[in-house]
Amino acid sequence: MPVPFWKTESFGTIISYLISQLPATIGYPLADLIAHFAANDVMSPGHRAMRVNQWVVHGGKITPRKLRQVVRQAYYNQARAIYDFYHYLDRPNDVRRMVTMTPKFKAMMHEAMQEKQGTLLLMPHLTGFNLGGVLLPLLGFKILTLSYPNPTVGYRMQNKFRIDHGLEVEPMSVSSWQHARERLQRGGTVLTGVDRPQENQMYGPVFFGKPSALPVAYTQLALHTGARVFVVGFHTYHDRTCVLDVSDQVHMEKHPDPHEEKRLNAEKVLLEVEKFIRKDPTQWVMFFPVWPGADADLPARFRLK
């Protein structure tokens, strides 16, 4: 059955952009209204995935009522984050005011900008990543961002906005992967997400205690180029300000078994990702099922019929 246009990502992107042109006193309530409708569409694939993902992140130690509250808050956080992204794109002074960096992130950035060694930045989809990403080109930090392959119309619109405002974004492909490799070999910086699941993923790196469908190919990009590896995290506060943080360097290790090499190195990265998500799971906005079969483990009292 075809999805109604008003439920599509493209429609959501258009509406979000239009709302973002309004002042915050009007824009935030409208963003909340969109979040309200999305959070109540409990049978949608995105809602189902979010519910299971949050149940796993909480280790199953959460009541059905609390899980509903967490999922609902995640939708509200996402809607407001999207408003912030579009609203402040053309307001660089506001971006500098709203987004700060930890001393550790500043140190990593300054080292990366010297381009003496490639730097691979890996990130989860936390609500601050859009606004945080707007700041970096304002500071002269040049980053090649590898985005999800075969983007939908909505994603393409978002990427165009990013590119128009100084961000370098390429959907993952053979050619963009080669560009990333060359960039790292020249001492540049590459950024990509690590928490969106892939179909037919055979490595199953453990994430929050369960085998996941998350990607592992970035580990080979790091090993083949000798790049430094860091996990980037974001945290958004109640006043909508955001802080950029970074993990300690994650050291990739060789292994005689290529399969184990990818899995074990990915798990080292994912341990750092877990730390950032645990700070506030409602800021982790992943609407795709990360753990294959986890929905079958969901107790009956959590299921929505």
Q: Mind listing the pLDDT tens digit for each residue in 139-190?
A: 999 999 999 887 777 777 788 888 888 889 999 999 999 999 999 999 999 9
**Nearest by Cα to 74 from 302, 303, 275, 277:** 277
The Cα 130–Cα 124 span in angstroms is 12
pLDDT above 70: residue 252:
yes
Asked if residues 124 and 170 have their Cβ atoms less than 8 Å apart, the reply is no
Please, what are the domains in the chain? Answer: 8-291 (3.40.1130)
Length of the chain: 305
pLDDT above 90: residue 192:
yes
Q: Mind listing the pLDDT tens digit for each residue in 26-68?
A: 999 999 999 999 999 988 999 999 999 999 999 999 999 999 9
Confidence (pLDDT) at 11: 65
Query: Rounded to 10 degrees, what is the CA torsion of 219, 129, 231, 179?
Result: 40
